[in-house]
Amino acid sequence: MTKPRLILASASPRRLQLLDRIGIVPDAVLPSDIDETEIPGETPRQIALRLAHGKAEACPDRDAFVLAADTVVAQGRRTLPKAETVEQAEACMRRLSGGNHRVWTGVALRSPDGQITTRVSESRVRFKRMSETEIRAYLASGEWQGKAGGYGLQGMAEAFVIQVIGSPSSIIGLPLYETAALLTGAGFPVFGSTK
């Protein structure tokens, strides 16, 4: 039996690394370019699910499984941006410093028959109160670029994290439990039969 093809609809190198942890190497990486503008009244959970679903749907390859994800960092209902400028990153760090926030990662899997299934993972993170020296050093590192909330758990910012309740892989960008469950449920071989 031929192994089905899998496309990762994301340019994130972290998501590739996370898939590799559970023995999955996508056949192709085809990032989906969709409008990520928030819709008024949406909760962070709804945003993460809508964007993951939209990215899976937008992939032009209709003959493969398509895996997509989106991560949203929020304090209450207020979402923090994917930091593109040092000013955005600094604003994020000052908001996160000394407080709690949530990270929502939506995952969507489109099967070759066109059906899309989704899951969402919610994690809670508490940051220490950061000193000016720590904030400046972090901003100078450039690690914040393109990351939801201006940080990645897998880098320097992990030194500011006091507590994580939930899935570390979800905070990095792809919750492995939910991803494996979606793939297995759709009939894609995950454990033991992928190689």
Asked about 70 being catalytic, the answer comes back as: yes
Per-residue pLDDT at 194: 41
Q: How far apart are CA 180 and CA 65, in angstroms?
A: 13
CB-CB contact of 176 with 22 (8 Å): yes
Mean pLDDT of 21-25: 95
Mean pLDDT of 157-165: 97
**pLDDT at residue 157 tops 90:** yes
Choosing from 27, 33, 63, 70, the catalytic residue is: 70
Set out the domains of the chain in order of their start, with CATH numbers: 6-185 (3.90.950.10)
Q: What is the DSSP string of the chain?
A: -PPPPEEE----HHHHHHHHHTT---SEE-------PPPTT--HHHHHHHHHHHHHHH-S--SSEEEEEEEEEEETTEEEPB--SHHHHHHHHHHHTTSEEEEEEEEEEE-TTS-EEEEEEEEEEEEPPPPHHHHHHHHHH-TTTT-BTT--TTSGGGGGEEEEES-HHHHHT--HHHHHHHHHHTT---SSS--
Q: What is the mean pLDDT of the chain?
A: 95
**Span 106-140, pLDDT tens digits:** 999 999 999 999 999 999 999 999 999 999 999 99
Q: How far apart are CA 36 and CA 50, in angstroms?
A: 9
Residue 30 banded pLDDT, cuts 50, 70, 90? very high
Per-residue pLDDT at 195: 41
Residue 192 banded pLDDT, cuts 50, 70, 90? low
pTM > 0.85: yes or no: yes
**CA proximity to 171, closest of 142, 149, 141:** 149
CB-CB contact of 172 with 103 (8 Å): no
Residue 77 banded pLDDT, cuts 50, 70, 90? confident
Q: How many residues does the chain have?
A: 195
Mean pLDDT of 79-89: 97
User: Of all helices (H) and strands (E), which one includes residue 95?
Assistant: helix 86-96
Mean pLDDT of 166-173: 97
Q: How far apart are CA 119 and CA 117, in angstroms?
A: 7
